[in-house]
Chain A
C-alpha cells in the first residue's frame, strides 16, 4: 500500500515538474533569442516569443506528405517530446545538496547516468526517424547527418561520464558509481589534487563543446542547416508536429544544461552567504537558474552568434579525434592524481 502511495506522490510531483520544465525551457529560449539579438546589436524579440511561436504552430495545418510513412512521421515528434520529458525526471532541476537536500529528481533511484546518456540520444534519434520517414531528400540528408553527429559526440560524452563515475567510486565511500546523486553531493573539484583539477577542467571543456552539438545549434547544426538544406530533418514538418519538435528541443536544452550544472558545478551559494531557512531555498534556486543561464549563454548563444556552420566531416572529425583525445587525457590525469 505504501508503495502505491509513493507512486501516486511521484506521479503528482512528476506532472508538476513537467509543467515547470515546459515553461522554464521556453523562457530560457526567449532569453537565448534576446541575448543573441543583443550580441548582434539588434533589439530582439520579446521574451514571450517562443510561447507565441508554439501557440501559432499548434494552430497551423499539419501537413503529412504523400510519400511519408505517416505513423513514423507523426509518432517521431511525440516520442521526441516524451524522451526529453523523461530525461527531465532523472536530472536534478534545481539546486541539490546543502540546505535543500530534498531537491532530487523525481525518479531518483530508478535510473543512473548510463540511462541518462541513453535517454539523451532519444530526441535526436526520433528526429532522425522522422526525417527518414518524411520521404523528402532534404530530410533524408539531414537525418543521415544527425546519425553521423550522434555517433561522433556520443564517444567523448561517454568518456567524460565514465571518467567522472570512476573517480566517484574511487573516493571509496561506498557510493554508487553511476548515481547522479553521488556525483552532485560529492563535487569532485574539492576531492582531487592539482593534476585532478587540470583533468576535470579538460573534461569540463570537452563537455562544454558537446553541449552545442548535442543540441544541434550553430555551428553544429548540420542536420538542420536551414540555409543549405532548408531545415533538413524538420524540412517536411509543419503545424503541431513542428511545434512538438520545437518544445522537445527546448526541454532537451534545459535538461542537458542542468546535467552539465549537476556534473560540474553542483555548488550552492547559501552556505557562502550564511543564509538559512526559506531564504536559502530561494537564493539557491536563483543561483541555479543563474548557472544554467550563464552556461546557456556561453555554450549556446555566444557560439551560435559567433561561428559559421561546420561541414559534417569536419564536425565528425572534431569530436572523434581531438575532443575524444582531450577527454582521454583528462581521464588519465584524473587517474594519475589517485596514484
Chain B
C-alpha cells in the first residue's frame, strides 16, 4: 500500500472507550477545544469506525468490551493506526492482574492483528499536549509504512 503525504495531514479519529474511567476521555475533548485545537492538523473526531484512520482507545479493556473492541478494530478500513491513550491501555495500570481485564490492550490487539501499528500515550490521565504528540508519533509510524511500500 503506497501512501502519499496527504494521508497524515488528515487523520480522522474514532474514539473507543474500553472501560475507561472517563479521565482520558475528558482530556481528548480538551484537545479539541480552542486552546489546543487539533483540527488545525486536520485531525477530526468521527462518529463511526468506517470513517476512521486512527482508533483512539482509552481504558484497560475489560471482558465485556474485549469482543467489541476487536470488532471495531476489524471494522476500521486500512491503513490504520491504534493510539492507546493512558496507562490503562498500555500496562493495565492500577487494574493489573485483575480478574475482569483482558488487556494490556497492546497484547490483546496484537493477537487480533500481529502487524498493528500501535502508538502509546502514557499518563493518568493523558495531557492534551501528549495526545497531540502521540498523533505525531502515529504519523511517523504511517511514514514507515510509506517507506516499506
From B22-30, B45-53, B56-64, the one touching the partner chain is: B45-53
B interface size (C-beta, 8 A): 23
A residues 22-79 in Cβ contact with B at 8 Å: 33, 37, 40-46, 49, 51-53, 55-56, 59-63
**Are B48 and A231 closer than 8 Å at their CB atoms?**
yes
Q: Once the chains are docked, how many angstroms separate the CA of A234 from the CA of B46?
A: 11
B47 touches A226 (CB 8 A): yes
Is the Cβ of B77 less than 8 Å from the Cβ of A56?
no
User: Chain B contacts of A237 at CB under 8 A?
Assistant: 50-51
Q: B4 near A45 (CB under 8 angstroms)?
A: no
What string of 1s and 0s marks CB contacts (under 8 Å) between B12-48 and chain A?
0000000000000000000000100101111000111
Number of interface residues of A (CB under 8 A): 33
Given A43-B37, A44-B37, A62-B77: A227 in contact with B47 (beta carbons within 8 A): yes
The chain B residue with its CB closest to the CB of A138 is: B48
Would you call B10 and A60 a contact (CB within 8 A)?
A: no
Closest 4 CB pairs of A and B: A226-B47, A61-B77, A55-B6, A230-B47
Given A37-B37, A42-B37, A52:B42 Cβ within 8 A: yes
CA distance A62 to B51 in the complex (A): 10
Neighbouring A residues of B48 by C-beta, 8 Å: 138, 230-231, 235-236
User: Per DSSP, are chain B's interface residues mostly helix, strand or loop, or mixed?
Assistant: loop
Q: Which positions in B face A, CB cutoff 8 Å?
A: 1, 3-4, 6-7, 9-10, 34, 37, 39-42, 46-48, 50-51, 53, 75, 77-79
Q: What CA separation (Å) do A244 and B53 show in the bound complex?
A: 17
- Which residues on A are within 8 Å of B, measured CB to CB? 33, 37, 40-46, 49, 51-53, 55-56, 59-63, 138, 226-227, 229-231, 234-239, 242
Beta-carbon contact of B47 and A61 below 8 Å: no
A229 to B42, CA, bound (A): 23
Enumerate 28 A-B pairs (CB-CB under 8 Å) in ascending A order: A37-B37, A41-B34, A42-B39, A42-B40, A44-B39, A44-B40, A45-B40, A45-B41, A46-B40, A46-B42, A49-B42, A52-B9, A53-B10, A59-B3, A59-B4, A59-B7, A59-B79, A61-B79, A138-B48, A230-B47, A230-B48, A231-B48, A235-B47, A235-B50, A237-B50, A238-B50, A238-B51, A242-B51
